[in-house]
Structure 1
């Protein structure tokens, strides 16, 4: 019988060790990922064309009803999952990549580069990020790429601090000292030793950053600063709350409630998943450290 690869076995074991909240969060995240990937097949109606009566309640051909233009709400939520995940994952990847490299450089080099980077991080932390996000988003224009770049500019500090603290401890290890004695350069140490060690914690932080970015994008879209063609969950909520008398009618029961539920479930699941993986990745939290080797 063929041997089963070690990496899938490890992943299955991690999932088995999850708490009930971690398993439920994983199921929710997987369901929303499938919703985004198979959106064309799961929604029989287009997400940007009127296919029914305006403000039609759930039922019949429209599972979750329609908006004020008669556009199917279920189709909008399916395609909105794509937008929210694109913004969340794109922001998390850019922030983790940039912040991770900055943190490794600061921790390993020390001296004035470390001091300069830490002062910059301190400034970024105390700045009120969401008002600045609003200003930059309004200045750069409403596009998904601009939103991802702006969110990444305010998110890199978190992985940078994590990687720096890890590198400060790792560079004092005997095997790092031995590698330096035998002529190992800075880039070799960063690629072969530091990056594999800090990757698990950075990956966990990426999950947290994904949820944060999804909420920020929804907030910008709610304020009318998102991409007007994206049909993200935040933009659906923006259109619903902009409708006069929405709270004095029954329209909010489907037009506002369902995208809010989708957004809340996704962000909550990401938060619980991040906490669950952090427990495993960080031994100080009582879990077992996992490795990418």
Structure 2
């Protein structure tokens, strides 16, 4: 094998070695954040329960025609969290609802972060009047209430889970765009960017090979924080009756509890479990996001 053939392999091997070392350093630092570990353990447990839902409670728990109990039974040995107005086990519905709530949170956050990252990098790289137009559009979305825009989209479009994901994703990206643009401007001012351009690197090369890797830590932290906001927004939309009525989600369970009069009749077991589950998932993602921020930017951890 010639030296020319060995060189690309050596470069790739060196790259992967550095990446593995970087991941090891990240995990070693992350483990020192007890709150971050607690949030990660909570997310792992909830995700595992959601994935194993068919094995834990079965798929027929959602059916209103084969409900095993009577309406609004209090918690008991047979029904750990009681039943809903159709006689379905609230424990089983809570586990099945985790699948939808987590899916909406993940996909909506990824869509939001993808749009914000794209807009932020383009605006920071090109500058000029084009960046000014993009930032004015971003400012318009930023000052408009996100929930109001999401409600408008969810009302106009069909009531489906994809509509909820789209409504959350296209209304919550401005904060990410602002942060990524600021980071892009900082990266673009570094000398190696000028060298890359002098060596013939085009816009696509500079943005994908130099800017994007440097803003990815910020994007990762923003994603973890955005997931919790997306889950809360999905729960709000479902509570307002704008979710998919054919699917079980935690927000949909709160909407069903409201329609069943659980608040006025004192059926606390109908309201408390989904509300606590939403709060715990949002808290877990927030703890993970804060820990990642502290790892990637040690100055934040020193200031807290």
> Does 2:96 match 1:82?
no
- Out of 36, 39, 42, the position equivalent to 2:53 is 39
Contact 1:52-1:71 at 8 Å conserved across structures = yes
Counterpart residue number, 1:69: 86
CA distance in 1, matches of 2:108, 2:297: 23
Structure-to-structure mapping, 1:122-161, within 5 angstroms: 122-161=139-178
> Does 2:250 match 1:233?
yes
The C-alpha deviation readout for 1:136-178, integer Å capped at 9, x for no partner, is 2111021110111111111121221111111101111111111
CA distance in 1, matches of 2:276, 2:26: 29
Contact 2:49-2:95 at 8 Å conserved across structures = yes
The C-alpha deviation readout for 1:98-149, integer Å capped at 9, x for no partner, is 2111111110100011101111111111112212221221110211101111
- Out of 246, 249, 260, the position equivalent to 2:275 is 260
Counterpart residue number, 1:290: none
- CA shift at 1:243, angstroms? 1.5
Contact 2:116-2:176 at 8 Å conserved across structures = yes
Give ranges in structure 2 of 5+ residues lacking alignment: 1-16
CA distance in 1, matches of 2:282, 2:149: 22
Compared CA separation, residues 240 and 10, structure 1 to 2 (3 A)? same
The C-alpha deviation readout for 1:10-64, integer Å capped at 9, x for no partner, is 453133221x322221121111111111111222473312122222222223222
Counterpart residue number, 1:57: 74
CA distance in 2, matches of 1:52, 1:8: 50
Which of the pair is proportionally richer in helix? 2
- Out of 241, 244, 247, the position equivalent to 2:263 is 247
Select the structure of larger CA radius of gyration: 2
Compared CA separation, residues 199 and 211, structure 1 to 2 (3 A)? same
- Out of 137, 143, 164, the position equivalent to 1:120 is 137
Contact 1:107-1:168 at 8 Å conserved across structures = yes
Structure-to-structure mapping, 1:201-216, within 5 angstroms: 201-216=218-233
CA distance in 1, matches of 2:99, 2:185: 38
Structure-to-structure mapping, 1:165-204, within 5 angstroms: 165-204=182-221
Give ranges in structure 1 of 5+ residues lacking alignment: 288-293
The C-alpha deviation readout for 1:243-266, integer Å capped at 9, x for no partner, is 23x2344422x1111111101111
Counterpart residue number, 1:222: 239
TM-score by length of 1: 0.90
> Does 2:115 match 1:98?
yes
TM-score by length of 2: 0.87
Contact 1:45-1:75 at 8 Å conserved across structures = no
Counterpart residue number, 1:17: 32
Structure-to-structure mapping, 1:263-274, within 5 angstroms: 263-274=278-289
- SS of structure 1 residue aligned to 2:243: coil
Counterpart residue number, 1:48: 62
CA distance in 1, matches of 2:112, 2:136: 18
Cα RMSD, aligned residues only: 1.8
CA distance in 2, matches of 1:14, 1:82: 30
> Does 2:278 match 1:275?
no
- CA shift at 1:273, angstroms? 1.8
Compared CA separation, residues 61 and 7, structure 1 to 2 (3 A)? farther
